[in-house]
Copies of this chain bind each other. A is one copy, B any other.
Amino acid sequence: MGFNMRQRLRDGGIQVTGYDRKPEVTDVESVDELLATLPSPRIVWLMVPAGAVTASVVSELAGKLGSGDLVIDGGNSRFTEDRKHQELLAEQGIGFIDVGVSGGVWGLANGYGLMAGGDPEHIQTAMPLFDALRPDGPREESFVHVGDIGAGHYAKMVHNGIEYGLMQAFAEGYELLEAKDIIKDVPGTFRAWQKGTVVRSWLLDLMVKALEEDPGLSRIAGYVEDSGEGRWTVEEAIANAVPAPAITAAVFARFASRQEDAPAMKMVAALRNQFGGHAVRAPGQRQPESDQK
C-alpha cells in the first residue's frame, strides 16, 4: 500500500523518498539515509504493520528526528497506541498525527479516503499530502480532521467495523439467492442492483466483479481471515456499552468459517446425544448437509 501511495503522491507533484526493507521497491538503503535525504522540517509517513513494528519504528524516529519534524502514522494502528507515540515524540519536539487510510488496491487510481487525528497545525502541515492522496473533488468528501490524537485511527477502525457488517449482509443475501431453486441468475441479480437500488455501493460493484470472474465462486474456500480492526470494533462496543450485533455477527462468522469441528458444536452434539439419544457423527464423517425440513 505504501508503494502505491508513493506513486500517487509523486503523481500529485510531491517529492517522496521511500524506504522499505525490500531492495526492489526502496529508494534508499536505510532509515538513516532516508532521513538524510529529507528537507527540513522533515515529514515521515509510516505505512508499517500495526503493533510492535510501528512502535519500534516510532521509537527509532524519536531518536533520529528533531524539533519541528512530523511523523504521520498512516497504518492500521490501534487508536490506543497513538497517545503513547505522540508523547514519546513530543519529548523531542517532534509532531505526530494519526491517519486512517482507506481504499485498498484501488487507491492508486481512485484516491484514498483519509481520516486524521491530532493537532490542527500538524494537520495543516500535512495537507498537501492529503490533497495528493485523496480523490479529486471537494476535500470534505474524502478527508476529515476527526479530532484529537487517536481519532483518525478510531474512525478508521469504525469504518472497517462497518465494512465487516456490510460484507456480511451482502454475503448472507448472496447465500439466500444461491439457496433458492427459483432463482436462475444470481450474478445477474447483483449486476442489476448497481443502478437505482437502495443497496448500490462500491462493495456491490466488487461483488459483481467477483461473480464475473468466477460465477459460482468455485475457486474460493469459505475461509475468512480477520484483522485487528474488526475485533477492536467489538471491544469498543463492549467498552462503551454500544449494542453492535450486526458487526459482531460478521466477526464471529469469520471465526466460525475457519473452524472445522468447533468445540462448542461438538458439545451441542454431545448434549443432544446425552438427553435425546440423537446420533452423533465421528470427526471426518462430516458430509454435505442433508435436507432439513
Contact = CB atoms under 8 A, between A and B. Distances in A.
Interface of A: 51, 79, 102-107, 110-115, 117, 134-135, 137, 140-151, 154-155, 158-180, 182-185, 188-189, 191-204, 206-207, 209-210, 214, 217-226, 228, 231, 233-278, 280-286, 288-289, 292-293
A61 B250 CA distance: 45
Given A142-B194, A226-B292, 19 more contacts: A140-B191, A145-B188, A147-B182, A151-B182, A159-B193, A159-B199, A165-B169, A166-B169, A171-B264, A173-B247, A202-B275, A210-B274, A218-B283, A220-B270, A222-B266, A223-B269, A235-B238, A253-B265, A257-B265
9 contacts: A51-B293, A102-B197, A142-B196, A172-B247, A176-B244, A217-B266, A225-B272, A257-B265, A257-B268
A162 B169 contact: yes
Given A159-B198, A222-B264, A275-B206, A237 B180 contact: no
Contacts of A164: 169
Contacts of A194: 141-142
Nearest to A111: B196
A197 B159 contact: yes
A271 B206 contact: yes
A249 to B, nearest CB: 4
B143 A192 contact: yes
Shortest 10 CB-CB contacts between residues of A and residues of B: A165-B169, A201-B201, A113-B197, A222-B265, A144-B192, A113-B196, A147-B184, A245-B249, A222-B261, A171-B264
Nearest to A284: B221
Contacts of A243: 172, 175, 252-253, 255-256, 259, 262, 264
A79 to B, nearest CB: 8
Contacts of A154: 177, 180, 182-183
A178 B263 contact: yes
